[in-house]
């Protein structure tokens, strides 16, 4: 159940000048990504600005992007919430339109203990047993870490198929790998940690940089898996300045600016996120030029 490949793109949500969702451009961008290294699109996650999207907007994005990449890439729907009831409702609705899986973030703000986190994810999994569920641990945003012990318990549930591990803690990822079966898939939640995590048994990455370098990320992962570690390392080190530049301020501000520098009219971020300032834009432009991306 699942197999989402190795490069999953945490897709941005394009907006029009009036701040409404640009569904046509979202479909165009999704198709472009599917043709340039992306195995699976993760729609309406952090990079997609899910906190400021309505459920109706998210549902429409799932529909449009499923159509745009049919037969070319899979779609994981960001259906997480800090309300278990709301997450279940969103997941059930997404399941009906044929998404290939859902991303479920650790509930934010209310800081449930590990027992509460376990019950939250079990309830969602049981409400849609036919739909693969990818856990999403990002304590820097949620205020709560999903412990390796809890992940191990959750991994025993058939349709909880993996985790996007964005704690930045290599030891934690290693502990998850050590204690789970090999078919439980670990994805890096940070581009700069993809190669280090491959070394301890990760499958791939839920990537921001893949908007720009999806094919190169595929080459890096394929090289590593073929035992060409030096080649993989060279690709990683070449792309490292880009990985860093895309997080010099809050994601997705830099990646949206980078796409605009490439000519994509993706619009601004929604408040309370702000525009990329001149300094951020100049740094991005220098990195993109250095990598021949503009």
Nearest to 266 by CA among 2, 19, 6: 19
47 known ligand binder: yes
Which one from 74, 164, 203, 283 is the annotated catalytic residue?
164
Q: Do residues 212 and 228 touch, judged by C-beta distance below 8 A?
A: no
118 is catalytic: no
How many alpha carbons fall within 13 Å on the CB side of residue 107? Answer: 20
Distance CA 47, CA 160 (A): 22
DSSP bridge pairs for 78: 103
Pairing of strands 40-43, 160-165: unpaired
224 is catalytic: no
Distance CA 175, CA 140 (A): 19
Distance CA 32, CA 38 (A): 9
Non-local (6+) Cβ contacts of 283 within 8 A are 245, 248
Q: Do residues 121 and 88 touch, judged by C-beta distance below 8 A?
A: no
229 known ligand binder: no
State both tokens at 235.
Answer: 């690709």
* Cα Rg, the chain, nearest whole Å: 18
As to burial, measured by CB atoms within 10 angstroms (0-12 exposed, 13-18 middle, 19+ buried), residue 115 is exposed
Question: Which residues are tagged catalytic?
Answer: 136, 164
Show binding-site residues for pyruvate. 47, 206
């Amino acid at each position: 159940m699942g197999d989402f490949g190795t490069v999953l793109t945490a897709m941005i949500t394009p907006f029009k000048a009036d701040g409404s969702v640009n569904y046509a451009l979202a479909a165009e961008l999704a198709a472009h990504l599917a043709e340039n290294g992306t195995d699976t699109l993760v729609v309406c996650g952090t990079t997609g600005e899910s906190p400021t999207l309505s459920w109706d907007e998210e549902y429409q994005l799932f529909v449009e992007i499923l159509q745009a990449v049919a037969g070319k890439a899979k779609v994981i729907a960001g259906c997480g919430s800090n309300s278990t009831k709301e997450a279940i409702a969103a997941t059930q609705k997404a399941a009906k339109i044929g998404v290939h899986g859902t991303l479920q973030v650790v509930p934010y703000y209310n800081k449930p203990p590990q027992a509460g986190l376990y019950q939250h994810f079990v309830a969602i999994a049981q409400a849609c047993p036919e739909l693969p569920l990818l856990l999403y641990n990002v304590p820097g945003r949620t205020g709560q870490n999903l412990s390796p012990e809890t992940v191990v318990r959750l991994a025993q549930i058939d349709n909880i198929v993996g985790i996007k591990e964005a704690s930045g803690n290599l030891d934690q990822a290693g502990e998850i790998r050590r204690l789970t079966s090999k078919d439980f898939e670990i994805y890096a939640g940070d581009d700069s940690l993809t190669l280090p995590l491959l070394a301890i048994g990760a499958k791939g990455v839920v990537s921001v940089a893949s908007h720009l370098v999806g094919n190169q990320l595929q080459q890096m992962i394929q090289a590593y898996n073929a035992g060409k570690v030096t080649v993989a390392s060279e690709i990683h080190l070449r792309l490292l300045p880009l990985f860093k530049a895309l997080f010099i301020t809050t994601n997705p501000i830099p990646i949206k600016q980078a796409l605009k520098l490439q000519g994509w009219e993706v619009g601004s971020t929604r408040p309370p996120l702000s525009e990329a300032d001149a300094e951020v834009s100049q740094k991005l432009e220098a990195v993109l030029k250095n990598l021949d991306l503009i």
